[in-house]
Amino acid sequence: MNQPIKPEIAEKIQQLERKFKNSGQDLGSYLDGLLHDRYLTYWDYIHLDTLLSLQIPRTHFPDEEIFIAYHQITELYFKLIIHELKQIIDDKLQNAKFFTEKLHRVNRYFRVLINSFDVMIKGMDREQFLKYRMSLLPASGFQSVQFRLIEIYSTPLTNLVNPKERGQFSEQDPLEEVFEHLYWKFGATDLKTGEKTLTLKQFEYRYTPRMMRIAHQVKSSTIFHKYLDLPEKEQNNVHLIEALRTFDTNVNINWLLMHMGAAYRYLNKEKGEVLATGGTNWKKFLPPSFQRITFFPNLWSEEEKENWGQQWVAHQFNTTK
């Protein structure tokens, strides 16, 4: 026997009727859909089978799977970081509280990445790595567009120019011109011949349009601009300043130092070094103290900028003594 419809259900149906009527839709048809719908499962919701099908090694060395999965995990965190940065950029309220909360999220994600990098440094067999990496040429994490976008969203391109030419460009210069002088392009170019590595050429071909589109979009609204546009009282908020400085050190020192540790573990030799898959002179390209990238230069003293990333140099010095 049919039970009478409970009043709270009848109320819900009326609400639904109003909702669908307002958008010119027929509730009955949607109820039909609901009747035939399958129940949602966890594995469908997060597309688990697809996710787990994306780790496809190119060799038979078991540790290659760790290398692929950890890069993918990092890219997912990069995605979450960009998700927060975009919200700061789009925000119209201009208050330090919102800004700081979003940066705390970003810093939390970076903390996870920095603390987990030993999965790479200690978690793979060196002999296997040195073999399977030869099947990956000329691919390199250098081609991570999300890493480049974190930079582009955070600071004007002029702050990303290679150290030899930094200061020679202003925000009035065409973005296309400044873009050609970024530190990572410089690092992957033979300075004698001017020839770019294949890794760089392929990356440029694939992603320059996207990077330029976004660089134009945030020309006056990078995270740095958003900070400088805040009312003075909000700009002086100590929690916000601390969060920005932590973000800057997380990306431009701490993550780079952990990453550099991996390069040393696998590519350094007693005499000379193993060539990097991306073809850079990695010992000169990777250390933060050589590139000296800072997203928010105004938030650091001259001395702090002078000693940027020196931890690595100090660490190397101590271990080689």
The nearer residue to ligand HEM, 156 or 278, going by C-beta atoms, is 278
Q: Which stretch binds ligand HEM (CB under 6 A): 18-26, 158-166, 212-220, 256-264?
A: 256-264
Q: Which stretch binds ligand HEM (CB under 6 A): 104-112, 202-210, 221-229, 278-286?
A: 278-286
Query: Applying CB under 6 A, does 74 fall inside the site for ligand HEM?
Result: yes
Query: Applying CB under 6 A, does 71 fall inside the site for ligand HEM?
Result: yes
Please report how close the Cβ of residue 134 comes to ligand HEM at its closest, in angstroms.
13
Of positions 169, 282, 296, 312, contacts ligand HEM by CB under 6 A: 282
Of positions 179, 184, 247, 308, contacts ligand HEM by CB under 6 A: 184
CA distance 144 to 167: 26
Please report how close the Cβ of residue 308 comes to ligand HEM at its closest, in angstroms.
13
CA distance 148 to 144: 7
Q: Which stretch binds ligand HEM (CB under 6 A): 17-25, 39-47, 82-90, 275-283?
A: 275-283
User: DSSP string spanning 223-287?
Assistant: HHHHHHTS-HHHHT-HHHHHHHHHHHHIIIIIIHHHHHHHHHHHHB-SSSBPPPTT-S-HHHHS-
| Phi, psi (rounded to 5 degrees) for 182 | -65, 155
- Amino acid identity of 155? T
Query: Applying CB under 6 A, does 249 fall inside the site for ligand HEM?
Result: no
CA distance 194 to 207: 21
Of positions 259, 287, 295, 296, contacts ligand HEM by CB under 6 A: 259
Which residue intervals of the chain are DSSP H helices?
7-22, 27-36, 42-45, 48-52, 64-90, 96-116, 118-121, 126-132, 145-154, 175-179, 183-187, 198-217, 223-228, 232-235, 238-249, 256-267, 282-285, 288-291, 302-306, 310-320
Query: Applying CB under 6 A, does 152 fall inside the site for ligand HEM?
Result: no
Of positions 263, 295, 309, 312, contacts ligand HEM by CB under 6 A: 263
* Distance of alpha carbon 40 from the chain centroid: 31
| Phi, psi (rounded to 5 degrees) for 124 | -130, 150
Q: How many CB atoms within 10 Å of residue 288?
A: 24
Q: What is the DSSP letter of 58?
A: S
Query: Applying CB under 6 A, does 261 fall inside the site for ligand HEM?
Result: no
Please report how close the Cβ of residue 164 comes to ligand HEM at its closest, in angstroms.
16
Query: Applying CB under 6 A, does 144 fall inside the site for ligand HEM?
Result: yes
The nearer residue to ligand HEM, 99 or 129, going by C-beta atoms, is 129
Query: Applying CB under 6 A, does 147 fall inside the site for ligand HEM?
Result: yes
Start-to-end CA distance of the chain, whole Å, equals: 87
- Amino acid identity of 79? K
Q: Which stretch binds ligand HEM (CB under 6 A): 79-87, 168-176, 210-218, 276-284?
A: 276-284
Q: Which stretch binds ligand HEM (CB under 6 A): 20-28, 35-43, 136-144, 157-165?
A: 136-144
Contact footprint for ligand HEM (CB under 6 A): 70-71, 74, 120, 140-142, 144, 147, 184, 259, 262-263, 266-267, 276-280, 282, 285-286
